[in-house]
Amino acid sequence: MATSEFGQAVRRWRDRVAPEAAGLPTGGQRRAPGLRREELALLAGISVDYVTRLEQGRAANPSHQVVESLARALRLSDAERAHLFQLAGLRSPGPGTVPTHITPSVQRLLDRLTGSPVAVFDATWTLLQANQPYAALMGDPSDRLGRRRNGVWRTFLGLNDRVRHTTVSRRELEAALVGDLRAATARYPADQRLKRLVADLLANSDRFAQLWETGVAGHHQAARKTIDHPEAGAVTLDCDVLTVAGSDLRVMVYTAEPGTEDAERLALITVLGTQALNTRSLGSSA
């Protein structure tokens, strides 16, 4: 991999993305017009240290997922995205694989939904992008790498989740996710990443294996969810899942009824998240 060229390209494209265009706060002094490393890391869902090592040519062999995440966060065109994969020594994902590219139209939608927690997942329920309100509500996903970014894996492996569940709601969620994943394997039978995910789930979760063997069908539906926030307390929100036709992306949106206590708590959570982001960015290198 041409590490220096890859890092230079990331740095160059980072400098041209205006924070406001990515839905980020613009307060404080900035030594460059574009994104800070901390902001790119947040948008791409990777660590700041990893962004630094990539830009400085000290990290080799980034995964397809990392390159795709950087391409999304940097708002690259199709040609630029293909070039970034080439610099990483990788092939751009081809036909027959689970789509992970957030189209410009979906990106514009995300840029406008700055007041609500929004996250985008692919057909395997791997988190592709989350806005700042979502990170504030559900926890910063930037330190989640590999399997830890996958919603099915997190559900069945018991990883930290702020959503409050009853026994019934958890079983319904588990069945829906398994059914969704089974449907994805039928649509993308040649996707090796998806095959490895299913194999690893079968090997690591008896509950997943049990449901998989039953042939359960279903899909993740809209629901009301109660989230236990560590600072604002419990907040109950509507969670809607929108499927983007043609790209097989899932857009998850959390909203509260205006004028309610839950709406006030959601607003507080968003403010707390913005303050935390500004605190992390103070004194950061451009």
Q: Which ranges of 148-260 does DSSP label H, i.e. alpha helix?
A: 151-156, 167-187, 192-204, 206-214
In a domain, 97, yes or no: no
In a domain, 196, yes or no: no
In a domain, 183, yes or no: no
In a domain, 99, yes or no: no
The reply to whether 228 and 86 lie within a common domain is no
Q: Which residues of 28-64 are buried (b: 16+ CB within 10 A; e: fewer)?
A: eeeeeebbbbbbbbbbbbbebebbbbbbeeebeebeb
The reply to whether 83 and 109 lie within a common domain is no
In a domain, 286, yes or no: no
The reply to whether 45 and 159 lie within a common domain is no
Number of structural domains the chain divides into: 2
The reply to whether 8 and 62 lie within a common domain is yes
The CATH code of the domain that includes 75 is 1.10.260.40
Rounded to 10 degrees, the C-alpha dihedral 115/105/126/20 comes to: -40
Q: What pLDDT does residue 274 have?
A: 66
- By the 8 A CB rule, do 128 and 72 touch? yes
The reply to whether 160 and 267 lie within a common domain is yes
- By the 8 A CB rule, do 151 and 125 touch? yes
Its domain, for residue 229, covers: 105-166+219-274
The per-residue pLDDT string of the chain (286 residues; one tens digit each, 9 = 90 and over) reads 455 899 999 999 999 988 877 767 666 667 767 898 988 998 888 889 999 999 998 888 898 889 988 988 898 887 888 899 889 988 776 667 898 888 878 888 888 888 899 999 999 999 998 888 999 999 988 778 889 999 999 999 988 789 999 999 999 999 999 999 999 999 999 899 999 999 999 999 999 999 999 988 777 777 899 999 999 999 999 999 998 888 899 999 999 999 999 999 999 999 887 666 555 544 443 3
- One-letter identity of residue 143: D
Instruction: Say how far apart CA 95 and CA 98 lie, in whole Å.
Output: 8
Instruction: Say how far apart CA 113 and CA 54 lie, in whole Å.
Output: 30
The reply to whether 88 and 122 lie within a common domain is no
Instruction: Say how far apart CA 44 and CA 17 lie, in whole Å.
Output: 13
- One-letter identity of residue 237: L
The reply to whether 62 and 162 lie within a common domain is no
Q: What pLDDT does residue 26 have?
A: 66
In a domain, 254, yes or no: yes
Instruction: Say how far apart CA 278 and CA 260 lie, in whole Å.
Output: 28
- One-letter identity of residue 2: A
Of 92, 120, 136, the residue that ends a domain is: 92
The CATH code of the domain that includes 110 is 3.30.450
